Amino acid sequence: MNDTVRKFGGKMTDLVRSEHPVAARRTLALVFRAYGDAVRFSSGGDLLPARRYVMGFCNRKMADSIARPGRAAVVSLFTPCEIFEALGIPVMVPEGLSCYMTASGCDRVFLEKAEECGVPETLCSYHKMLIGMAETGVLPKPRMIVNTTMVCDANQLSFRYLAEYFDVPHLVLDVPDACSAGNIRYLSDQLRRMKDFVEKHSGRALDEGKFRKTMLRASETLENYRRCLSLKSVRYESIRMTYHMMDALALHPFLGTEEGLKYTEMLKKELARLPLLQPGEKRRSRILWVHMMPYWQDSISDMFRYHADAEVVCCDVTFDNYSVLDPEQPYESLARQMLQNSLNGPSERRIRRVLKLARQMDIDGIVYFCHWGCKQTLGASAMAKEAFEQAGFPTLVLDGDGCDTRNVQDGQMMTRMGAFLEQLEALR
């Protein structure tokens, strides 16, 4: 974290502590937009133009979600947001917004506020951050809250807390573990009720034509990204860890947007122009990252940004499903997508998905990131490591925190990561 970010974070912290949350919120929204535009319209450097574009549009979406109170819906990362997009309702996502707070250098004031209000230290820091933003007044009152029961236990605590705190309508989508005909009907019925719920509490009627167009864009975006992964499997791209998280936003809460589709179309064309990896050529160690990334942690991200012999090729959270969306059956195909998500259900499903992705992307090693507070990921770490290594993929289980800067052992993490990269280089 550079000095400029630290100074900015200090100013935002001062505004929050001096009880000027509206000024802090407006400043954050302004800076998000300005930084996104600065990256988008910059030239040169080692980033593909598509990567600069995705930073610009994700920053604008984040700014829009907090700029005006009462407009946005708070949603979990795996909530299907195509309905909100078709209705023109911005969404706030804990996993995204919390990352932006950390990147702005002002995470501690929100995390400490949440803990002062009784939130335990062991709660996932992404969700703890959102609660702290609400308690300080920086998070504006949303129009409604919609979350799923998928993947994250913190969903069931933080979203209920926020719904009671703001006194806003709250809907929970109950997602079964298995994908069966009965479960598809069960979940698609809930998605239809979600549509009715959003219409009721937004005062807007869903235009079925717009919804189909949104679903078509979502389907085309996912197909483009499948092609992007295929292209990356035989090419090297200079990419920073931050942009893997931008992909996660583009393919989850912002799936179905015009910007998301344009981004994947740009990326597909630009990746196709990169040179192919040549047989017998000495190459960088290709890493598959499992779970969230500590992109804000310069010591770790710089190891890949400046390391001549290693690259993070992909992340399993970015593309966690091969399901095909059908604009003519939107609710059923969205239900199928959620049920077949590799992070939904037993850990074995995620392990199989990671192994399939590792083989597809010609991976040399796997980093399994145990984000503090994520019990599902932590609990499966030993089983995952054993399965990956039995399949021939050296694996590093790395403890850390995706967005709480107080909760890292920087030196220890660098030592372990450095040793792992040396191991992979020796095996090549």
pLDDT at 307: 61
User: Which stretches of 168-303 are assigned E, i.e. beta strand?
Assistant: 170-173, 285-290
**CB atoms < 10 A from the CB of 201, how many?**
18
Residue entry with tokens 């289980």? 397
Whether 278 has a pLDDT exceeding 80, the answer reads no
> From CA 191, how far away is CA 189, in angstroms rounded?
5
pLDDT at 169: 97
How many Cβ atoms sit within 10 Å of the Cβ of residue 286? 22
Is the model's pLDDT at 214 over the cut of 80? Answer: yes
DSSP label of 368: E
Regarding predicted confidence, which is higher, 43 or 61? 61
- Least confident range of 229-243, 328-342, 388-402: 229-243
Is residue 324 very low, low, confident or very high in pLDDT (cuts 50, 70, 90)?
A: confident
pLDDT at 405: 85
Alpha helices by DSSP H, listed for 92-207, are 94-103, 107-116, 125-136, 155-166, 181-202
Cα–Cα nearest to 94, from 249, 222, 214, 247: 249
pLDDT of residue 282: 65
The DSSP element (H or E) to which 89 belongs, if any, is: none
Identify the pLDDT of residue 48: 92
pLDDT in tens, 292-306: 888 878 788 877 876
> Which range, of 162-176, 185-199, 221-235, 271-285, averages the lowest pLDDT?
271-285
Query: 147-204, pLDDT tens digit by residue?
Result: 999 888 777 888 999 999 999 999 999 999 999 999 999 999 999 999 999 999 999 9
HSE of 239 in the Cβ direction (CA atoms, 13 Å)?
29
Mapped onto helix, strand or coil, the DSSP state of residue 310 is strand
Amino acid symbol at 427 = L
Q: Which two tokens stand for residue 139?
A: 């998070």
Tokens of 93: 């996502």
Q: Which amino acid is at 133?
A: M
Share the mean pLDDT of the chain: 90
pLDDT tens, residue by residue, 84-102: 999 999 998 877 888 889 9
Give the Cα separation of 172 and 76 in Å (integer). 10
Residue 67 to residue 154: CA distance in whole angstroms: 26
> Per-residue pLDDT averaged across 345-374, rounded?
92
